[in-house]
Amino acid sequence: MIQEQLNNLKEAQKKGLAVLIDPDKMDQKSLQKRIKLCNVNQVDFIFIGGSLVAGNSMDDAISEIKQLTSIPVIIFPGSVYQISKKADALLFLSLVSGRNPEYLIGNQVIAAPYIKKLGIEALSTAYMLIDAGAMTTASYISGSAPIPANKPSIALATAQASELLGFRNVYLDAGSGAQDCIGQEMINKVAREIKLPLIVGGGITNPEKIKMAWEAGADVVVVGNAIELRPSLIQEFSEIKFSL
Ligand code: 1GP
């Protein structure tokens, strides 16, 4: 079970690296190259998703990835259309930083019977968008305001509420392609107080940023755009991971 892997990672104080693949942004050759690098560098998880991915390209991309690797593939869904039984698990997200009921519980009600029917492992995850300057796709599509970057106490209170409500993971996301990643103070404040696996992503573009996120207490760091642009970063990031 993937949840167990996440819990074990946290308990062992190991650092996890997740590479995010947006199937719409990648041709077959680029996908193969990146998956090969993930294998060689012992990437922990492959996340797959995007705000605007159509159903079929998701299924096809997961089949393709599963042929190339045994790294767990986890769907990071941008919508209820991004569910596939071919994945190992799915982040079952509730956008707890927002106040849009459709993204807090509405879409989950629509998706739950289908997820149950397919028998996919659903990873109950409190998902928080953190402001990173410019408006992100996730914020725009969900019609929800992110938590201000300079308010770590709001992030902490939201994470605490999520823990009390029974969520199993917390995901702090500055949004895909964010100019600034989440700051050290916010990650650290949440990591210190929360016992759940902490996933952090958005705007991680260089070795300094990923090191900061892990050292601040992130259990899993998710990288998408930077690896799309510079696949060699997979090796650089892995080396840092194993050095911590
Ligand atoms: C976004 O956390 C992910 O939801 C990854 O963001 O593409 O900026 O790495 P990037």
Calpha distance 34→26 (Å, rounded): 10
pTM of this prediction exceeds 0.85: yes
Q: Is the CB of 222 under 6 A from ligand 1?
A: yes
What separation in Å is there between the alpha carbon of 202 and the centre of ligand 1? 4
Set out the domains of the chain in order of their start, with CATH numbers: 2-243 (3.20.20.390)
Ligand 1 centroid to Cα of residue 139, in Å, is 13
pLDDT at 11 over 70: yes
Q: What is the 3-state secondary structure (H, E, C) of 25-62?
A: HCCHHHHHHHHHHHHHCCCCEEEECCCCCCHHHHHHHH
Mutate to test the pocket of ligand 1, among 47, 222, 228, 237 (most ligand atoms within 8 A of CB): 222
| CB of 50 shorter than 6 A to ligand 1 | no
Whether residue 223 has its Cβ less than 6 Å from ligand 1: yes
Q: How confident is the model at residue 215 (pLDDT cuts 50, 70, 90)?
A: very high
Residue 57 confidence (pLDDT) above 90: no
Nearest to 76 by CA among 136, 138, 27: 138
The whole-angstrom separation of Cα 21 and Cα 147 is 25
How high is the pLDDT of residue 54? 64
Label residue 164 by pLDDT band (50, 70, 90).
Answer: very high
Q: Is 224 in the pocket of ligand 1 (CB under 6 A)?
A: yes
Q: How many helices (H) and strands (E) does the chain have?
A: 11, 8
- How big is the chain, counted in residues? 244
- Mean pLDDT confidence for 123-130: 98
Residues contacting residue 191 through CB under 8 Å, at least 6 positions apart = 198, 216, 217, 218
Given a cut of 70, whether residue 55 has pLDDT beyond it is no
Q: How confident is the model at residue 134 (pLDDT cuts 50, 70, 90)?
A: confident
